[in-house]
Amino acid sequence: MSWMVAVFGLAFLVLIHEAGHFFVARALGMRPRKFYLGFPPALVKTTRGGIEYGIGAIPLGGYVKIPGMHRPAPSDLDLHLGPALREAPELTGSIERMKRKLDRGEFEESPELRALEAGVTGVELSPAARRSAERGLNELRDGVGADAYWRAKTWKRVAVIFAGPGTNLIFTVALLTVVFLVGVRVATLNVGEVSAGSPADLAGLRVGDRLVGIDGEPMTGFEDVFNTIQDAEGAPIVLQVERRGDVRDLRVTPTHYYDQNWAVGFRPVARWERHDAGEAVSLALGRTWEVTKAIAVGFSRLVTPEGREEISSPVGITRVSSEAVDIDFRVYLQLLAFISLSLALLNLLPLLPLDGGHIAFSILEGVRRRAVGREIYERVSVVGIALVLMLFFIGLSNDLGGRGPG
């Protein structure tokens, strides 16, 4: 049951991401043609108000088709209508007239387009050639339409693309606010459990002790304790421990557990802490910013072996989410919020076909005051797709090798 909740949570994050693109595009006059959870081909679909809604067979994200993402070019006709032309050479005249029109920069509904559509309808074509030709004609009609994305002002295009990750950012803050309102587990300085045979156990740390300092420095919260132990990087440290009113020194040497963080082998007592609405919003914004900085540092470390070991795929994310569901629903909600934040930041990387790449190209086209050709988009996208696939397979390798997050 927990893994179903985890999968549903990930699907929901993708759904609201695509919904951000979808609703902002509609609000700004770019009527989407399709809205899918997952990628086509469709398992189920329905059309309402001229928009096709469906669930795709490839469960790796979501899909919103916004009309006219690229300015039409003569090469588009070669790509999509080439098979039809080889089977029906009588289409040559109509295709060439349309190509010349596009080459002159005339992008509007025209007799040439209608004649080309009629010509394709009237010839005998194989199923594959007809599907390709019809796809190309649909793309061409969308591209010359008044609601085409490439025609819109730069700020509108950026707004439509940013709406996806922006929705995930808003969801992150909103969900964390709910968590802080309901209550979060806060680790205290009191010792609740000591692992047998650990450095803490061998040094004499006992359940009920309270940490008050490390190496003479006072500790105000468990976060201070955790950070100080990490900073020691395995060097011996001295814990100042209060026990029945007396303070005593315990010398311990931190060690690695399961190739993760440095630790000395104890768990703190945790308590639930609730906040009012104002505090909850403030804490949610602060936590979002802290995690954003941590994720940015993580991106910068991807070129190192240690950084690559921290990458996870949807397999590992689902597993950890399922474990969080089993622990406590509030723990799961926090994790879901951070996954939403990671999804937003990953999509804002300036790589095509990610949202950040489309934003960068929209700004570039606004500065140049002319569109970038589709072929350039496609060449740059090849690099971005290769990098994203590489990260996916590294993450999948980590997950299957047992080195997922956490």
Phi, psi of 69 (to 5 degrees): -65, -25
Mean per-residue pLDDT, 211-215: 92
Q: How far apart are CA 245 and CA 249, in angstroms?
A: 13
How high is the pLDDT of residue 33?
92
pLDDT digits (tens, 9 = 90+) for 81-111: 999 999 999 999 999 999 999 888 888 888 9
Q: Where are the domains of the chain?
A: 74-146, 186-273, 277-400
pTM of the model: 0.77
Q: Which fold has domain 186-273?
A: Pdz3 Domain (2.30.42)
pLDDT reported for residue 404: 41
**Residue 405: is its pLDDT beyond 50?**
no
Decide if pLDDT at 343 tops 60: yes
- Work out the percent of the chain whose per-residue pLDDT is above 90: 45
Mean pLDDT in residue range 244-272 = 85
pLDDT at 362 over 60: yes
Closest CA to 336 of 173, 181, 163: 173
Q: Is the peptide bond before 32 cis (omega within 30 degrees of 0)?
A: no
The pLDDT of 180-188, averaged and rounded, is 86
Give 278 or 305, the one with higher predicted confidence. 278
pLDDT value at residue 403: 45
Do you find a cis peptide bond into 41, omega within 30 degrees of 0? Answer: yes
- Residue 115, C-beta contacts closer than 8 angstroms, at least 6 positions apart: 94, 97
User: pLDDT value at position 313?
Assistant: 58
Look up residue 351 and give its two tokens: 């790589």
